[in-house]
Each structure stands twice: as structure tokens, then as C-alpha cells.
């Protein structure tokens, strides 16, 4: 079930009706019951039996958090239950997501050692949204252990948090501390709330159905040719740019719809994207791209490892390790590890040269512009790794990026760049807002923009494709 499917529309209409009719404080028992049923249906729509996997994670984290809280100063007991919670979550995630990758890697190692063997593989469908709800659920136990929050009393409330359908499949990754403080806050369904929620939904539908889906048609058609070396020069560059726009529109579109749905239901989700292609450094890119994941990795992995409080060498190791694991989080393939390695290397080089503080130091604009170009080219190269089926195919594309040869444009690829225009305009406008060159859109501006985007959704939508991050 997808946000852009009729099945989801039929599921959400009664939930929205309940919100307007019986859920004026958003936590009335009747509305909670309806949302719980809708979320459970949403979870079971994919593979019904997989709800048992989610229930296992939820039950372990619920019990662990309560035991940790009651343990008081008994650090041994507290740490044991924290390890039990984290271990259970990572074991479930690892089995379903990385079992075959581990078996393939073991086969290769055995082959290099002269002991060729064919190992059995696990034929399993990846549980929907397991990477996202696992991180959200783990944040709850960890924050209870850190005494940042207190555990919820009712199992129902924790189940509601983990399974809440707007953020379930592809985020944003909502932490317990970002969610439960809103439980008792009254957010009535006023016109202003409805307008903002609907605007976010329309924006998300436009990014997904008009931009991402139309770009996907061209990217899917020509990417394989690029990996085989059949596409050359400027057309390879254009296809790579098309994918950079596609993945932004696809994921930012999903996040916008999720935020809009949650807003209509009376909940605020954190922003997940902030015009990443205007980032002037690798650090800034990760402050703008998949913000909830980068902050999760920072707070629950990078900082516990020592962050930047230790020596420069240790800081560089921490940065690289976090980015490698961040790449592996996206999928069990060497291409994702290579994607993380590119970003990790960029962050390390940037820190060693002091280029992560160009803006704070008010460095002269030629250096800032030069490093901005380096960053964005590296981001583009990393997307080649991310999208390719193999590292070999990715290197073949990267080799063709510099092979301009005779400049012959493919008309279909050039025509598809039209759907990059909204991405460019969005980023330029955000840059203008941040620099004080342009105002933020007012109510009337948003209304006009929403009308234009809705009209384009109805007349310019592309062939429906799954959200890219559904596979993670």
C-alpha cells in the first residue's frame, strides 16, 4: 500500500473523518482505536504475518524500557536490558536485511581461500519499513536508559507510536522524545492546521507523481545502458543528474506527504529535507539530506564513539565508520558501502583541511564556491554508486562522465530535464530565503502554488513507481 494508491485513500478517509468528528483533542479513545486499526491494517497489507516481527520488537522495547526505569541505580541491570533491547532489534534487522549479503560475502572469502562452496540462501521478503521503525523503537529504549524520557505506562501508547502509519514505511525517523511530548498537547483541527497539512500533501504528491515518476521513466530506461557502457559523454552526465533529481523528489515527496498526514492528525513530524543541493560542505549536506537519519546516527552512534571530542585521527575514524554504517543501513550491497565511503572520505578530508567551517569563518567566496562545486560533484558521483546494480557498473559510468567525445544529445534525455526545473527552482528560492534575497511565500502564495501543483498532479503525472526508500 502506497501513499499514492487508491487503497491508501480508502484507508485514510475514515481516519480523517474520525479526526474531524470525534478526535478534536487527537487522543480521544475512539480516534486512537481507529488509528490503531488503520495502522495495523497498513502494516499487515504487505505480508500479514510480518506483524509478528514488529510486535516482537515493540514488546521487547516496551518491557526493557520499563525495567530500565524501575532498576534505578542498578547499572548492571539497566545495561543488561538495554543490550537485550538493542540486540533484539539489530538481530531482527540483520537477519532479514543482511543474511544473504553475509552469506554471499562468506562465499567470496571461502573462494579466495581456495575452499569454493555454495551456501544456502534465505528466500525472504524484507519487512516493510523495518529499517525505519527499528531505529524509532530503539531510540525509545536508549533515551529511557539515558533518562531523557520516562517510559509510557500503557503498551497501547507505545504500539501507537511505532505503528503510526504516516512515518512507518520510509520515515521520517521519529524519535520517542519527539513524539510523546505531543501526546497531551491539544491541536484542534482548525482551518490553519488543515491548510498546512493539505499543502504538504499536495507538495509531496507533486514531487513524487510529477517529478520523480517522470524522471524515473527515463532513468530506468537509460541507466542500464550507461552501466553497460552503451551511453556516452554528456548523456551520461544528464542521466546522472536526472537520478539526483529523482531520488530527491521521491524521498522528499514521501516525507512531505508523511508530515502532511501527521499534521492533519494533530502530530508534528521533524523536517527531513532542506534543499540539500545548495549545501556548501559535506557536513552541511548531511544537515540538509535525510536529516532525521543523520541526526540519529550522530546522537546514537557518532557521539557515543567519541564524536569530535577525541584526537583528530579518532574523529576521522568515527566519521568514516558512521558513514560506512549509514551506507550499509540503506541496503546489503557493496554499492551502498561505497556510497557511504565517498561521503565518509569527503567528511574526513573536509575536517582535516578545515573546510567544514568556511561559512562560520566568513571565508572569501571563491574558496566557498570552489568547495561547493567539489562537494556537489562528489555527491553526484556517490549517487552513481547508490543507483547502480554493481560497483563495476558504477565505475563504468564514472569513467564515461569524463568521456565527452562528440557532443550528441539524446532528445528523450534532454526532454526529461524539464522535470528537474522544479528542483532547481525550489533550491534557488531556498537559497534566496536563507541569504535574505527572497521572501518566504505567504498564505496567498502557498494557495496559488498548491493550486498549480495540484493541477500538474492531475494532468502531468508519470507512470506510478514505488517509492525508492520502500526497499530500505
Q: What is the CA radius of gyration of the chain?
A: 23
Cell numbers 503525472 correspond to what residue?
Answer: 461
d(CA 168, CA 164) in angstroms, rounded, equals 6
Q: What are the angstrom distances between the C-alpha of 190 and each of 30, 172, 262, 295?
A: 20, 24, 14, 31
Q: What are the angstrom distances between the C-alpha of 40 and each of 161, 162, 167, 261?
A: 12, 11, 13, 17
Q: What are the angstrom distances between the C-alpha of 260 and each of 160, 193, 203, 423?
A: 18, 10, 9, 20
Query: Which of 268, 322, 328, 273 shows the shortest CA–CA distance to 300?
Result: 322
Query: Which of 125, 122, 130 shows the shortest CA–CA distance to 43?
Result: 130
Kindly report the length of the chain: 472
Is the separation of the CB atoms in 206 and 457 below 8 Å? yes
Residue 343 known to be catalytic: no
Q: What are the angstrom distances between the C-alpha of 220 and each of 170, 210, 448?
A: 21, 16, 33
Is the separation of the CB atoms in 23 and 30 below 8 Å? yes
d(CA 175, CA 146) in angstroms, rounded, equals 14
d(CA 92, CA 78) in angstroms, rounded, equals 22
**DSSP result, 233-274:** HHHHHHHHHHHHHHHHHHHHHHHHHHHHHHHHTT-PPPP--S
d(CA 295, CA 280) in angstroms, rounded, equals 19
Query: Residue 187 is placed in which grid cell?
Result: 491541536
Q: Find the catalytic residue in 167, 290, 330, 343.
A: 330
d(CA 263, CA 334) in angstroms, rounded, equals 38
| Strand (E) or helix (H) holding 458 | helix 443-459
DSSP H helices, 45-74, are: 51-70
Q: How far apart are the first and last CA of the chain?
A: 15
Residues designated as active site: 330
Amino acid at each position: 500500500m502506497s501513499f499514492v494508491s487508491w487503497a491508501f485513500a480508502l484507508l485514510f478517509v475514515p481516519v480523517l473523518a474520525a479526526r474531524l468528528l470525534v478526535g478534536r483533542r487527537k487522543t480521544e479513545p475512539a480516534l486512537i482505536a481507529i488509528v490503531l486499526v488503520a495502522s495495523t491494517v497498513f502494516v499487515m497489507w504487505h505480508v500479514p504475518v510480518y506483524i509478528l516481527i514488529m510486535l516482537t520488537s515493540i514488546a521487547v522495547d516496551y518491557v526493557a524500557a520499563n525495567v530500565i526505569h524501575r532498576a534505578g541505580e542498578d547499572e548492571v541491570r539497566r545495561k543488561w536490558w538495554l543490550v537485550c533491547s538493542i540486540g533484539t532489534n539489530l538481530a531482527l534487522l540483520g537477519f532479514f536485511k543482511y543474511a544473504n549479503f553475509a552469506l554471499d560475502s562468506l562465499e567470496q572469502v571461502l573462494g579466495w581461500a581456495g575452499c569454493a562452496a555454495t551456501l544456502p540462501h534465505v528466500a525472504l521478503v524484507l519487512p516493510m519499513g523495518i529499517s525505519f521503525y527499528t531505529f524509532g523503537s530503539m531510540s525509545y529504549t536508549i533515551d529511557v536508559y539515558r533518562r531523557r524520557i520516562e517510559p509510557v505506562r500503557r503498551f497501547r501508547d507505545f504500539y501507537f507510536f511505532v505503528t503510526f502509519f504516516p512515518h512507518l514505511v520510509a520515515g521520517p525517523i521519529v524519535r520517542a522524545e519527539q513524539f510523546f511530548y505531543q501526546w497531551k498537547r491539544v491541536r484542534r483541527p482548525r482551518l490553519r492546521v488543515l491548510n498546512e497539512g493539505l499543502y504538504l500533501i499536495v507538495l509531496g504528491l507533486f514531487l513524487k507523481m510529477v517529478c520523480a515518476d517522470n524522471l524515473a521513466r527515463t532513468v530506468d530506461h537509460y541507466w542500464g545502458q550507461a552501466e553497460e557502457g552503451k551511453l556516452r559523454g554528456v548523456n551520461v552526465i544528464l542521466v546522472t543528474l536526472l537520478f539526483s533529481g529523482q531520488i530527491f523528489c521521491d524521498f522528499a515527496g514521501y516525507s512531505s506527504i508523511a508530515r502532511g498526514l501527521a499534521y492533519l492528525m494533530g502530530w508534528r513530524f521533524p523536517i527531513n529535507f532542506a534543499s540539500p543541493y545548495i549545501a556548501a560542505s559535506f557536513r552541511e549536506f548531511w544537515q540538509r539530506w535525510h536529516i532525521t537519519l543523520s541526526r540519529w546516527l550522530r546522537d546514537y552512534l557518532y557521539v557515543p564513539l567519541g564524536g569530535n571530542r577525541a584526537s583528530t585521527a579518532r574523529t576521522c575514524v568515527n566519521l568514516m565508520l558512521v558513514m560506512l554504517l549509514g551506507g550499509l543501513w540503506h541496503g546489503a550491497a557493496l554499492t551502498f558501502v561505497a556510497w557511504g565511503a565517498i561521503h565518509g572520505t569527503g567528511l574526513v578530508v573536509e575536517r582535516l583541511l578545515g573546510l567544514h567551517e568556511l561559512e562560520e569563518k566568513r571565508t572569501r567566496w571563491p574558496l566557498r564556491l570552489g568547495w561547493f562545486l567539489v562537494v556537489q560533484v562528489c555527491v553526484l558521483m556517490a549517487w552513481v554508486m547508490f543507483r547502480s546494480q554493481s560497483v563495476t557498473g558504477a565505475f563504468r559510468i564514472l569513467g564515461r562522465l569524463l568521456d565527452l567525445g562528440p557532443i550528441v544529445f539524446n532528445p528523450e534525455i534532454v526532454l526529461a530535464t524539464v522535470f528537474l526545473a522544479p528542483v532547481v527552482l525550489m533550491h534557488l528560492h531556498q537559497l534566496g530565503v536563507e541569504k535574505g534575497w527572497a521572501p518566504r511565500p505567504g498564505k496567498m502564495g502557498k494557495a496559488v502554488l498548491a493550486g498549480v501543483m495540484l493541477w500538474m498532479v492531475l494532468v502531468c503525472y508519470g507512470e506510478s513507481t514505488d517509492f525508492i526508500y520502500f526497499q530500505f
